[in-house]
Chain A
C-alpha cells in the first residue's frame, strides 16, 4: 500500500502535465496528491479514473473533475462552470462557490459545493447527488433525468423545468417552478436521506422547511388536451 503524498506546484506545469501527473500517481497507487497554485486554471483533474484523493489548494476553473470515475477531489477555493461534469462515480467537494452548470449531466457519485452555484446547476443529471450549500441560479435541474439535487438555500426561477425523473430538495425559497415541476410530499425517508447527505458536511437538515420537487409527468407524452403544459416545452 503506497503511503506517499505527492505535491505539485501547478504554476510550473502545463494543464496536460498536471493531469498526467495525477493519472500516473493514481495508477501508481499514490493515495493523495496535493496541487498548489491552481490559479483558476480550466480542466484540472479531468478524467481521473482511479481511486486517489486530489486536493487543489486554491480556486480552479471550468470542468474541474469532469468525466472522472472513482476519484476524490477536494477544492479549497471556488470553481468555474461545470464542476464535476459527467462524473461517473467518486466525489468532488468545493469549499467555495461554484459556477453555472455545476454537476451538469452527473451520472453517479457526489458533487458538493459549499457556497452558491449559478444557472442550470444539475442540468440533465442522469444520476448521482449534487449538494449545494447555498443557492442555485436560473433553470437549475433543467431536463433532470435521475439522481438527487439538494439545495440548502434558495432556487431561482424555473427550478426543475422539464424534468423527466429525479428529485430536487430546496431548503430556502423557490422563485418559481419550471414547466411540469411539482411539489411532492416530504416523507420520513426523504428526511433521512437529507440528513445522510448533509451531516458529513456539517450542515444540519433539521429545522428547515424542505420542499421536495419532482416531475409532474405531463410532458412525458404529448397530449393536445394539455396544451397549456406543452406551450413552453415544444
Chain B
C-alpha cells in the first residue's frame, strides 16, 4: 500500500500503542545500549504554547497605520543604566545570546561578533571565557559569569561592555552544562583548564555564592572589579519567574534575561530539554508582571530568549513588554546550521539537514559546533557574518513592519492591545482576548464575568445562591 499508513502483511492497519510508540521504543533501547540518558544538542522536540499562538490586529478604521517604507519607526534602545553604568546600546532590540567557544567553533564566534557589530547590537561570550577573536570582532560584548568559571579572567571582565551572571539556562534549568570529550580538543581543554578529551560536566551552583542574598554581594564584587562602569545582567532559566525576577531585582540586577524552555544548548540530556522550564511566552508575561509589581518596568530591563525565530516572535515579545530579545539557535541557523550542504556528512551522523541536532558530537558538517580544523574551514567567518547580518536586518524589518501596521512609530510602543490570542491556552497565559471574543481566559476574567452575571441577576430580582460572593 502507498497511502503512508503502516500495514501488516495481510493489509490490516497496524496500530502502534500511544504509550509504547516507536519513538518510546527507540528511546528505551537506545538507553539500554548506552547505559545512561541520551544527550543531544539544540532544543526541545515538543510544541509548547508559543508566540505562534498570538496574532497581531493591525490598524483598520479604528486606528491609523503608519506608511510602510516611508514613515520612521524607531528601533533602538539603551539597556542596563539602572545603577549609572554605561548602558549597552542596541540599534535594534535583539542581542546574540551566550554560546561558548568550545560548543561553537572560533569562526562561528567571530562571525557572530562581526555581524553584531555591523548591525549595532551586542553579542555574548559563554562557558569557556572570552575568545580574543570574539572581542576584536564585537563592539559590544557581554561577558558571562558562569558557575564553572571556565576561562574566567578579570582582565577580560574589565574589557567587557556588560557582565551576565548565569543562574540558569532555559534548555536545562537547574542543571550544569555538558561538553562531551569529542569536543574537548587540546585548545579547548587549555582554555578551560581541563584534561583533553574529558567529558566535561559543569557545575550548576556558583562556586562562590549560593542564594539571592549572596548574589547581591557577588554583583557588588563585579561592580567593584569594573569600577561600576558596566551593567550587570542576570540570566535565569524560566521556572518560578515572578519570584526569580523579584529576587534578581532586589539583588541589584540592571538587566534580567529570562530564557524560556525553547532555548537551545550545545549538549544536554534529551529529557531535560523536553521536561523542564516554562515556555518563553509565558515567562515573558510573568516577568513583565513582576517588574510592574515592583515598579521597575523600564528601570530594570527585560530581555527574553528561548526559541525566538524571527522578527515576528520578537515583535510579539515586545508587545508583551520585553525590552529586547536574544537569539542563539536562530543565529546559528543563519550561520548555516542544518543547511543542506555536505549532506554526506549529515548522513554519517545518522541524520539529515533540517533535522540535525548532533551538536554534542563535535562533528558538525557545516563547521559551527565543532573543533575539527577541516570542518571549521567550511565556515569562513566573513561570509557567515554576512548571513547573520542579513538575518538580523530581516528581524528589524519585520519588527518595524508590525509596529507600523499597528500605528506605532517605535517598535517599543507595541502593546498587548495590538495582539489577540489564537488559542484559549494562549489567552489564559497572556490575558489577551481570544480571537472573535473580548474575553481573556484568565481566572480574574471568569471571576469578573460571574460577578457581573450575578449582579445582573440580582438587579432582575433573582436572589444570589447561598454562599455566593456578594
A16 part of interface (Cβ distance < 8 Å): yes
A36 part of interface (Cβ distance < 8 Å): no
Instruction: Give the residues in chain B near A162, CB-CB below 8 Å.
Output: 201
A220 touches B154 (CB 8 A): no
Instruction: Give the residues in chain A near B432, CB-CB below 8 Å.
Output: none
State the main secondary structure of chain B at its contact with A: loop
B207 touches A104 (CB 8 A): yes
Instruction: Give the residues in chain B near A143, CB-CB below 8 Å.
Output: 203
A-B contact count (CB 8 A): 114
B195 part of interface (Cβ distance < 8 Å): yes
Instruction: Give the residues in chain B near A72, CB-CB below 8 Å.
Output: none
B429 part of interface (Cβ distance < 8 Å): no
B157 touches A220 (CB 8 A): no
Instruction: Give the residues in chain B near A225, CB-CB below 8 Å.
Output: 35
A124 touches B224 (CB 8 A): no
A127 touches B193 (CB 8 A): yes
B194 part of interface (Cβ distance < 8 Å): yes
B228 touches A62 (CB 8 A): no
Considering the complex, which residues of chain B in the window 147-161 have a beta carbon less than 8 Å from any beta carbon of chain A? 148-149, 152-155, 157-158
Looking at A1-9, A81-89, A181-189, A206-214, the stretch in contact with chain B turns out to be: A81-89
B208 part of interface (Cβ distance < 8 Å): yes
A44: nearest residue on chain B (CB-CB)?
A: B224
Considering the complex, which residues of chain B in the window 379-395 have a beta carbon less than 8 Å from any beta carbon of chain A? none
A47 part of interface (Cβ distance < 8 Å): yes
Instruction: Give the residues in chain A near B154, CB-CB below 8 Å.
Output: 47, 49, 67-69, 86, 88
Q: How many residues on the B side are at the interface (Cβ–Cβ under 8 A)?
A: 36
A43 touches B217 (CB 8 A): yes
Q: Which residue, B194, B224, B227, has most C-beta atoms of chain A within 10 A?
A: B224
With A164-B198, A221-B197, A234-B36 as known contacts, state yes or no: A42 contacts B209, CB within 8 Å. no
B224 touches A46 (CB 8 A): yes
B34 part of interface (Cβ distance < 8 Å): yes
Instruction: Give the residues in chain A near B298, CB-CB below 8 Å.
Output: none
Instruction: Give the residues in chain B near A227, CB-CB below 8 Å.
Output: 35
Instruction: Give the residues in chain A near B34, CB-CB below 8 Å.
Output: 224
Minimum distance in angstroms from A24 CB to a CB of chain B: 11
Q: Provide the A37-50 mask, 1 if CB < 8 A to any CB of B, else 0.
A: 00000110011010
A81 touches B193 (CB 8 A): no
With A47-B225, A221-B199 as known contacts, state yes or no: A101 contacts B207, CB within 8 Å. yes
Instruction: Give the residues in chain A near B148, CB-CB below 8 Å.
Output: 124
A123 touches B207 (CB 8 A): yes
A162: nearest residue on chain B (CB-CB)?
A: B201
Sample (26) of A-B pairs whose CB atoms are under 8 Å apart: A16-B227, A43-B221, A47-B225, A47-B226, A49-B154, A62-B217, A66-B221, A67-B225, A88-B153, A88-B155, A101-B207, A101-B209, A105-B149, A105-B207, A120-B207, A123-B207, A124-B148, A146-B193, A164-B194, A165-B195, A220-B197, A220-B199, A221-B197, A224-B34, A224-B36, A227-B35
In the complex, given contacts A43-B220, A81-B214, A234-B37, what are 6 additional A-B residue pairs having Cβ atoms less than 8 angstroms apart?
A46-B225, A67-B225, A69-B155, A105-B152, A146-B193, A220-B197
The 10 closest A-B pairs by CB, nearest first: A224-B35, A67-B154, A47-B225, A82-B208, A46-B224, A104-B207, A126-B193, A123-B207, A104-B208, A63-B221
